[in-house]
Amino acid sequence: MRNAAINLRALPEQRDLIDRAATLSGKNRSDFMLEAACDKAKAVVLDQVFFSLDTDKYRQFTALLDAPPSHNPGLERLMAVTAPWATPKA
């Protein structure tokens, strides 16, 4: 159930355009706008995940990825913990 409100102001022409597109998509205004906003938000987040590097930086990056991991006691402790879903229930 949706319970978080998102309010915004728009020009009448913008509202009309959105309403027309929503109707053509078989959606109401809220569903259309929420879907469009989420699509854009995902694209922005993905832009932070995918990046480009020049040849020299790419070689440095892959060398770091290919290098053996450094000693990390915290990670070793974490990896030694049995996952709750892996523990048989009594």
Q: Which pLDDT belongs to residue 27?
A: 97
Domain ranges of the chain: 12-83
What pLDDT is stored for residue 51 in this prediction? 79
Within its chain, how far is the Cα of 57 from the centroid?
Answer: 25
Report pLDDT for 90. 60
pTM beyond 0.85? no
Please give the pLDDT value at position 31: 96
Here the tokens at position 18 are 């959105």
Q: What is the DSSP string of the chain?
A: -----------HHHHHHHHHHHHHHT--HHHHHHHHHHHHHHHHHHHHH-----HHHHHHHHHHHHSPPPP-HHHHHHHHSPPGGGSPP-
Find how far residue 59's CA is from the centre of its chain. 27
The tens-digit pLDDT sequence of the chain (90 residues) is 889 999 999 999 999 999 999 999 999 999 999 999 999 999 999 888 877 899 999 999 999 999 998 999 999 999 999 988 887 666
